Amino acid sequence: MSVDAAQEHNAINSGMANASNGTTSVDHAAGALAQKQRKPYDYGGNPLAHINTGESARLQAFGGELQPGLYKSNPKRTIANPAPLGLSAFALTTFLLSLINLNSNGLTAPNIVVGAAFAYGGLVQLLAGMWEMAIGNTFGATALSSYGGFWIGTAIILTPGGFEIISNEGNQFLAAFGLYLMGWFIFTFLLLLLTLKSTVAFFFLFSTLDIAFLMLGLSYLYPQANAAGELGPHVALTRAGGAFGILAAFAAWYNAFAGMADPSNSFFLIPVLHFPWSDKGRAMRGKVDNTTAREQAKAEKNGEVV
């Protein structure tokens, strides 16, 4: 026992033996102990310090874990959460290409995206998808690995003078690339359907990405002639795809940050807005999940021990 603890113990014992006016020294000792407890610092009245610190606020975001239907961190995971890495790789590469599609600073050629698409959006995101496979996350493994393959494939197509895919196909490239993007629109729509029971942040990521693929696919399927009479992607549709791509990039960064921020490294936690019909949303509204009750009733009916 330390010296301070011994002194506090003696103060309490002496107070139990000596009481006056209905107040014992136990009360004074308890008050002293309460005063010694450090009060949380409010950081100068920072409103971000006034947050919900209960269990509900510490639940991982769906996007942070990249597992629809799971709002608690997987306790069986023995490696770090790979989802933020994959989301960050996707976000940066999408951000670059979307800025070019928006014709930012007069940029039109997507050459700068090739390096990021090969190394970060492609290789790193593919590795993150494989690590999601290792921890048993089917959705995360499928999504990250697929989009990693998308960026590698897109880099191969867009490599200037490397594979000569664009020059060999000529005008047919526009229609072919449009069909390529429409295929990714269909795939993303399937993933989007699996986020309907998750959070607004997770749903927003895949919805904006899906619309971006749709706009870009249509821009190549319905090209328009430029001032020189040459066919190219539809300008308005391309810029619309770039705008939704920017939103998807920031949504990916948002979900990645939600997967990394916790009380150990951040002064605030990321709101993710659970859908009211999701498991977490129903739990927050006090709705009872009857799945367990039905399973128990079925087991009792079959004579099994519950």
The model's pLDDT over 125-140, given as tens digits with 9 standing for 90+, comes to: 999 999 999 888 899 9
pTM of whole model > 0.85?
no
CB 70 within 8 A of CB 272: no
Please give the Cα distance from 175 to 157 (Å, whole number): 14
Confidence of residue 181 (pLDDT cuts 50, 70, 90): very high
- 3-class SS of residue 232: strand
Position 262 scores a pLDDT of 81
**CA proximity to 180, closest of 129, 146, 206, 216:** 216
Structure tokens at 284: 């927050």
Position 85 scores a pLDDT of 95
Please give the Cα distance from 84 to 82 (Å, whole number): 6
Position 186 scores a pLDDT of 98
- 3-class SS of residue 225: strand
Structure tokens at 210: 């899906």
**12 pLDDT higher than 50:** no
Q: What angle do CA 72, 75, 81 make, to 5 degrees?
A: 80
CB 162 within 8 A of CB 219: no
Question: Between residues 190 and 303, which one has the greater pLDDT?
Answer: 190
Q: Please list the helix, strand and coil fractions of the chain in percent, rounded to the nearest 5, in that order.
A: 65, 5, 30
Residue that has been written with the tokens 């450090």 in this structure: 38
Please give the Cα distance from 24 to 305 (Å, whole number): 55
Question: Between residues 278 and 160, which one has the greater pLDDT?
Answer: 160
Please provide the size of the chain in residues. 306
Question: Between residues 53 and 270, which one has the greater pLDDT?
Answer: 270
**50 pLDDT higher than 50:** no
Please give the Cα distance from 91 to 97 (Å, whole number): 10
Question: Between residues 240 and 273, which one has the greater pLDDT?
Answer: 240
The stretch 183-212 carries a mean pLDDT of 94
Question: Between residues 55 and 210, which one has the greater pLDDT?
Answer: 210
Mean pLDDT of the chain: 78
- 3-class SS of residue 199: strand
The stretch 264-280 carries a mean pLDDT of 79
Structure tokens at 45: 């009245």
**5 pLDDT higher than 90:** no
Confidence of residue 44 (pLDDT cuts 50, 70, 90): very low
Q: Which helix (H) or strand (E) holds 19?
A: strand 19-20
Please give the Cα distance from 53 to 68 (Å, whole number): 23
